[in-house]
Amino acid sequence: MRPGLERFVVRLGEELELRGVAVSPRSLVTFTKALALVAGSGRSAIYWAGRATLLTSPDDVDAYDRAFLVWWDAASPAPGSTRRLEETFGFDLPPDEASGDDDARNETAPDVSVRWSSEEVLRHRDFAECSPTELDAIFALMGSLQLAVDLRPVRRIEPTRGGHGTFDTRRTARGALRTGGEIVRHRHTRQALRPRRVVLLVDVSGSMEPYALAMVRFAQVLVAARRRDRVKVEVFSIGTRLTRLTLELGGADPDAAFRAVGAAVPDWSGGTRLGDTIGQFVQQWGAVGMARGAEIVVMSDGWDRGDPTHLAEQMGRLARLAHRVTWVNPLRATPGYAPLAAGMAAALPFVDRFIDGHNLAAIESLAALLGQRR
């Protein structure tokens, strides 16, 4: 390493240390090697080379940006100086950045004041505040969600390996018949585990219009995971009537799924009768097996035109059938929010988890929560 380049690298490490970012000697060596690879590529390449090799956490990006600005200004030649950066630090820079022309450097300099990527901004943007273009980008990001579903024990017994589980006398004896009665291998079994069924009840009433499309997109991602991960997923819309949407959401194309849902749901952006629709689900589908031991997710703001007592009664029936009831309310993240609406207040005593649902970050948290055991 040339002495000038060594000072160039160590100085950035010192600036980071001053801002509370720990930099290891190994990282500095890696940064030095990266500089050799990006020689002649300009300030932007050097910025990203340092960010990729010196940082270990996205929380340090803000401090890195400030350190880089100070460090680069200190390393750059003063205006009017004939000293060239490559002469001082031992590697080549493009002609516009190697010169002392500030205007030329500024034209190609990256905007390192950007603190968050566009994806990170979208993850925390309220669905109701997004433009159609931003919603399309969010729906694309939602397609990469990984679903982890809780496992439940079933009556079936399955063989195990490595001596784990319960000793299987019958299979061990059968194996011994093949070896003249001598037991060569001990067989074991265990109770089989299967993914727990997930049932989504998505409110498509008028009060949920800013969020309903995002909820349906999340439902479509879960239904797609049904084939990939062998997860049992069922989706219903609730408004003034109950509509099963599992088949409409079964395709891989989100746009086609949205069109199919629009054609199948007659009460989109209509009224809300949560007690009636949840009661209809329990009567027609839940009590006959779909809700038994299932993970029930109700996605609604809790506004209801019906009798709160009736809603409470139906939520009680649903809670007794389900393994767990999660209520996703997009209004919960509103500053000063309290579940004072009659419908929400009536349902809340029968809810195991009451969570946000206003942005992609909240939906990602929901996907992770589905895999947690009770």
Q: How confident is the model at residue 4 (pLDDT cuts 50, 70, 90)?
A: low
240, 272 contact by CB (below 8 A): yes
Whether 144 has a pLDDT exceeding 50, the answer reads: yes
pLDDT over 70 (residue 53):
yes
Quickly state the pLDDT bin for 111 (edges 50, 70, 90). Answer: very low
Q: What is the pTM of this model?
A: 0.64
Tell me the mean pLDDT in the region 4-11: 73
Kindly list the domain boundaries of the chain, sorted by start residue.
3-114, 140-148+196-369, 157-193
* Torsion angles phi and psi, residue 312, rounded to 5: -60, -40
Phi, psi of 325 (to 5 degrees): -115, 120
Multiple choice CATH, 140-148+196-369, 1.20.1420.30, 3.40.50.410, 2.60.40.10, 3.40.50.2300: 3.40.50.410
Task: Note whether 343 and 303 are within 8 A (CB).
Answer: yes
**CA–CA dist 342, 358 (Å, integer):** 21
Q: Of all helices (H) and strands (E), which one includes residue 222?
A: helix 209-229
What is the pLDDT, as a whole number, of residue 102? 44
What pLDDT band is residue 180 in, cutting at 50, 70 and 90? Answer: confident
* Tokens at 51, concatenated: 């960010």
Q: 84 φ, ψ to 5°?
A: -105, 145
| More confident of the two residues 337 and 7 | 337
Interatomic CA distance for residues 360 and 181, integer angstroms: 61
What's the start-to-end Cα distance of the chain, in Å?
A: 57
Could you say which DSSP state residue 145 is in? P
Residue-wise pLDDT for 203-236, tens only, equals 999 999 999 999 999 999 999 877 666 778 999 9
The widest CA-to-CA distance across the chain, in whole angstroms, is 95
Residue-averaged pLDDT of the chain: 82
Cβ contact 193:151 at 8 Å:
yes
How many percent of the chain have pLDDT more than 70?
A: 84
